[in-house]
Amino acid sequence: MLKQQLNIKLQQKLSPLQIQVIKMLEYPTVELEERIREEMEANPALDEGREETVSEDTDFDSGGDDDYDNDFDLTEYAMDDDIPDYKLQTNNHSVDDKDVSMPLSGQTTFHEYLTSQLELCEADTKTRQLAQYLIGNVDDDGYLRREIEAMVDDLAFQFGLSITDADMEKALVVVQNLDPSGVGARDLKECLLLQLRHKQTSSTVVLAERVIDRFFEPFSKKQYDLIARRLGLSDAEMKEVVAEIMKLNPKPGNAFSTPAEILLQQVTPDFIIENDNGRLSVVLNNSNIPDLKVSKTYNNMVSDYVGNKENQNREMRDAILFAKQKIDAARWFIDAIKQRNVTLLKTMNAIVEEQYAFFLEGDDTKLRPMKLKDIADKVGFDVSTISRVSNSKYVQTEFGVFPLKYFFSETMQTASGEEVSNKEIKQIIVDVVSEEDKSNPIADDALTEILREKGYVIARRTVAKYREQLNIPVARLRKK
């Protein structure tokens, strides 16, 4: 049964300026520079330079001029049947959307390098074609993760080719003989064996190959004593074997191209902390960010239209509608950047105030427990806003460059009830592990007891969590 109802709803909607500000908060300095360049290319009403004082006749922010609004009704004009061409263009992506596409490298890629070597291989045409197909399935680490049977089935279903497993294995041998050695392996064990078999034969290499082939699992668990007993090796011989295996590359693909992590190590700080005889001040790193203003040409265009009521034809209205939209977009963009800067400075000043002792001395033990909510309450912003500010932002200090997230930590209590940062506990774990006897490393239970003796009430699972966050392996894997 159909029934009509009248409901009253209260809804909140974000204005274009609010959306701009939210997006701007997420941008680190380098991305903001790129975003400004893109906006200046897309919006001709946005110019580089300081904002000039605009007279009342040409002030079209928000409400605009009364005469202009009365004489030029944009809503009424938009209902005209003859819609301007630029209004017919559509784009499903906002100009504010982040461009997450990866930059293209100008050098030879890993897969191109492998393909170029096929031309020098002594193999028939069919084997070369299958080897080319296998290279396409090799991942960036240099491994062939797919099963031979699955690739044979793909070639049969997609291309109607009758290929046997033996044909594919023959082509795989060709790929595994390419440089770098170890490429085309299906697991770590095969990768290490391929590299050892490409080495110049020696007694140590032969022993290393035997260890990986027969005792790979015990070796991965560092059970060296067990392996030495089984093979009848002395401690000196076992050390030579371990040293030989440690020279191998577990990810042969990474040896050819520059890893993305290395490229990302160059960080541009968003804030700079200046220390003037113990007085700290925060400066935004906006040295490469230009001042922005609304184009005087576009303001004059709208001003001339308002003052010239005799020559208001359709083409002129098209131009003025376009100009006003671009002026509004430019003003929103400029205001968004201003609000971003204010928000960032307020947040960073609050962080410095909370962690003042650290910024003065650079001592990690001076870091106080601090959460996102603590800063949000201090500056009067929402927690999500503080999260956006701290994400992907860096601060330059006298003691190095730190990510903002470095200063946020959990709160722990000592036996005396004093609140301390978990970074203090992590530093103790690092110090204890660095000084341990590597032939008998300290287990998590013993680490827990050491911390309790120092007055830190902490559970074993918490110690294990902190150890993992510090990228410290378990005790048996630290054994040497």
Question: Per-residue pLDDT tens for 15-50?
Answer: 666 777 788 888 888 888 888 889 888 888 888 877
Model confidence at 123: pLDDT above 90: no
Model confidence at 259: pLDDT above 80: no
Mean pLDDT highest for which of 191-200, 295-304, 410-419, 437-446?
191-200
**Edge-to-edge strands of the sheet including 271-276?**
279-284, 271-276, 394-397, 400-403
pLDDT (0 to 100) of residue 13: 66
416-430 pLDDT, tens per residue?
666 666 777 888 888
Greatest Cα-to-Cα distance within the chain, rounded to the nearest angstrom: 105
Dihedral, 128, 133, 137, 138 alpha carbons, nearest 10: 20
CA atoms lying within 13 Å on the CB side of residue 253: 20
What is d(CA 270, CA 218) in angstroms, rounded to the nearest whole number? 48
Confidence class of residue 307 from pLDDT cuts 50, 70 and 90?
low
Model confidence at 414: pLDDT above 70: no
CA 304 from centre of chain: 48
CATH topology for 410-480? Answer: Arc Repressor Mutant, subunit A (1.10.10)
CA atoms lying within 13 Å on the CB side of residue 230: 12
* Contact present, 32 and 24 (Cβ < 8 Å): yes
pLDDT (0 to 100) of residue 14: 62
The fraction of the chain above a pLDDT of 90, given in percent, is 13
Sketch the domain layout of the chain as residue ranges: 110-255, 410-480
What is d(CA 438, CA 472) in angstroms, rounded to the nearest whole number? 13
pLDDT (0 to 100) of residue 51: 65
Tokens of 72: 């030029």
Could you tell me which of 404, 346, 353, 355 has the C-alpha nearest to residue 376? 346
Confidence class of residue 192 from pLDDT cuts 50, 70 and 90?
very high
Q: In terms of pTM, does the model score above 0.85?
A: no
* 183 to 195, 196, 203, 246: CA distances (angstroms): 9, 13, 24, 17
pLDDT (0 to 100) of residue 264: 44
- Following DSSP, what letter does each residue of 245-274 receive, concatenated? HHTS-S-GGGGTS--HHHHTT----SEEEE
pLDDT (0 to 100) of residue 300: 81
What is d(CA 254, CA 3) in angstroms, rounded to the nearest whole number? 66
pLDDT (0 to 100) of residue 210: 92
Confidence class of residue 62 from pLDDT cuts 50, 70 and 90?
very low
pLDDT (0 to 100) of residue 417: 61
Could you tell me which of 408, 470, 403 has the C-alpha nearest to residue 434? 470
Tokens of 62: 């928000």
Model confidence at 261: pLDDT above 50: no
pLDDT (0 to 100) of residue 367: 81
* 367 to 355, 410, 455: CA distances (angstroms): 6, 11, 18
